[in-house]
Every structure is written in C-alpha cells, then in structure tokens.
Amino acid sequence: MRLRKAPYTEFKRVSTSLDDYASVDSSPLFLVNNIPMMDIELKENDLISFMNPMCPQCRSKNVVRNGTCLRTLENGTVFRVQRYICRDCRYSFVARPPNYGYGKHYPEDVREKGVKTRVKTSLRKAADLFRIIGNVIISHETIRKYVPSLPDMVMDSSGYFVYDEQYAHIDGMEKYRALLKDSKNGNFVEEILDDLKEDTLAGFLIRSLSRFAIPDHIFITTDGYHYESALEKVSSSLNIRIMRQRCLFHIEKDLAHRIADAKMEGHLDMAKRLVKYMFFQNRTNLKKLGKNRDAVLKLTEGMSEREIVEIMLDRINSLYGGDSIMASFLKWVKKHRKEVFLYLENPDVEKTSDKAEQHFSVQSWLFKHRFKTEEGLLRTSYWYHRYLSTGS
C-alpha cells in the first residue's frame, strides 16, 4: 500500500501517531495483514481514500464510494476516511490509515492504556476517560476485548513454589482467589475457588502444576496447617515428590495470637521475640531481645544458621518449657520439624509465602472488590502482573 499525492509533512502528521506500519526498503510501501495491496492517497481536504479500491472480502474491483466517516487520532488530529461498498458481495469497508488494518481501530498504545485504565476503574468509566481526555470514542465492550485472554501454554518452572489464597467477591459472592507462583522466575497460575476443601485445593494444585514443566520433585511453601492431605493427593496424582515448607511468618504470628488470647503477653513477650529471632536471624530481631541480646550473641557467635536454631530451641525450652502454651508450641515444632526447617536443608526454599502475599498486595482492594466476574479478574490480573507490574 503506497501513499501518493500527499506532502511529506501531511503524511508525517498522520503516520507518526500510528506505531506499527512497516516500510519495505526505502519506498513508502505498507503491508496490512493479508489484505490486497492498494494505493492510498491523502487529499488536501484531509480525506484518506484508496486510488485502486478492491473488496477485501471477494477481491472484486466492482467497488463504489459509500460516503465518508470521521476518525480522531489519540493526539486529537481529525481526518475523514472514504467508505466503500462492493457491488458484488455488498461488503462495506473503509480506506484506513497505514497501521490500522481491518478490524483494528486503535493503535497498540491505546489498547495498552485501555487495559491499564481497566485495572483502575470500571469499563464504562474507562471509556468515558478516553472520550474526556483523549477525545477518543470507544465503547466499554471494546475495552473489555482489549484485555488479552489467558495463554494456554506450558510454563518454565524452577521447582520452587509458593502458594496462598485470599478472598474475592465474584458475582456478589465471597470466593477465594488461589495462587501458585514459581518463586524464582515469577510464572504463576490463578483460579477462583468456591471453597478451600481438601478436594478443591488438590484439584487446583493438580491443574496448576500441569501448566508447568516440573521436575520429579518440587518444593512448595504454604501458610496454614490444612494442606498436608491435599498435597498427598497431588503427589499421588502427578507421580511426583512434594516437599513442603511451612511459612515461618504464619507460625510466629499464630503463636503471638495464642499468647494474646490467653492474655499472657507480659509473661511470654520475650519468648515470642526469641522465636522470631530463631526463625529470622537478623540484626533487627537481635536488638529486640533487649537485655538478652548480649547473652544470645555470645552463645551464637560464629555459629551457622542451623546451629543457632538448635541453640535457640534449647534455650526456649529451658526458659519457658513449663508454660503450657510454649510447651505445646515446642511439641508441635518437634512433630513437624522437617516442614518447619526444610529451608535449612535447601537454601533455595522460601522461608515464607511472602512472594505470594506481595502478588496479592498489587492493587489489592481493586482486585478484591472491583471485578464482578471470574474471567474479568483473572484476565486483568494476569495481564497486569505480567506486563505492568514492576514486581516479580
């Protein structure tokens, strides 16, 4: 498609607002999908028309003019486009600018802005913003179509995952937005679940893991305490070995809640701090030990993380083993030792499900309350996290 009889400045005024026309060699030749090559001219009265119109439907040249229509670019430039109708098949078409093609009414940057706006507000309000700010007439259904469908492909996997869920309102009902995310490369699968029963969770994990190219053994970090039997079903169904790491943050937080419910904060406050330092050995948590800081530092100086864990467990037991809450906690840790301290065996395992929490924290309120349909939430969430979010 060649643009003729138009000054270069006029051509530039139209074409620079469009982003995906392709030139061939040094000639202004433009290709639009598989549509027949047709010469375009931009006349002095800002009318864009074909010099040799041909019906893109039946390839007939028995074509006549059928009025004009106005088009407004994103920068506000208004021009007229010639309409045509085929006398043979009655197909109607227009002489579009170089990068518009057939069935493509807006440039890619407009599409992307449409999806960004979709995250921030409703479909109808997004369409209104285009009309008010950019003088672009666009329907809310067009914006809906701009959100890409979820890709149906097998994703790469490191074998290290985090899992979490949060509630979401879908069709006026409270449901659960479940997430399985590769903690290394950021690939993820989301679904909306009706409940968190064992069979429901197992089904989600089986479907999600089937979307990944996984090795014969994987590692999953989860919160809570109700995934064991579900993971056993997944392991048996997929014939893989699943190693589970319990989220240390949730273990520590659960202990704090139990202490608060028993109104024992004053007596067991230092026990909480010792547990937190055992799990997260950093300067901040060391300082929070107060007067016990120097004693703990002297005991653990030069020790490895594993050795410090053993020392802290021994000290917590000797100091607070007589308390029923702490005794129950230590008994539970001993029973589930492999799942609590799996990260000591493999440093690539995530201690917490924090990466899943961060995923949910992006536009959290909007994703919980704005979207009324399952498809709308999942499609927009995938597009946003994959192409707009700066997080992994």
pLDDT for residue 369: 67
Q: Are residues 271 and 243 in the same domain?
A: no
Q: Are residues 47 and 80 in the same domain?
A: yes
Asked whether residue 102 is domain-assigned, the answer is no
Token output for 348 = 């690539």
Asked whether residue 99 is domain-assigned, the answer is no
Q: Are residues 86 and 135 in the same domain?
A: no
Q: CA 39 to CA 82: how far, in whole Å?
A: 13
In this predicted model, what pLDDT tens digit does every residue of 19-72 receive, in sequence order? 333 333 333 333 344 444 466 777 777 788 888 888 888 888 899 999 988 876
Q: Are residues 252 and 341 in the same domain?
A: yes
For the chain, give the percent of residues with pLDDT over 70.
80
Q: Are residues 173 and 243 in the same domain?
A: yes
pTM score, whole prediction:
0.69
Number of domains in the chain: 4
Q: Are residues 242 and 357 in the same domain?
A: yes
Q: CA 272 to CA 290: how far, in whole Å?
A: 13
In this predicted model, what pLDDT tens digit does every residue of 176-205 receive, in sequence order? 999 999 999 999 999 999 999 999 999 999
Q: Are residues 282 and 166 in the same domain?
A: no
- Which of 252, 318, 255 minimizes the C-alpha distance to 285? 252
In this predicted model, what pLDDT tens digit does every residue of 61-106 receive, in sequence order? 899 999 988 876 655 677 788 999 999 999 988 886 554 544 445 6
Q: What is the CATH number of the domain that holds 175?
A: 3.30.420.10
In this predicted model, what pLDDT tens digit does every residue of 145-184 receive, in sequence order? 777 777 788 999 999 999 999 888 887 788 999 999 999 9
* Residue 142 pLDDT class (50, 70, 90 cuts): confident
Asked whether residue 293 is domain-assigned, the answer is yes
Q: Are residues 67 and 122 in the same domain?
A: no
Identify the domain containing residue 129 by its residue range: 108-146
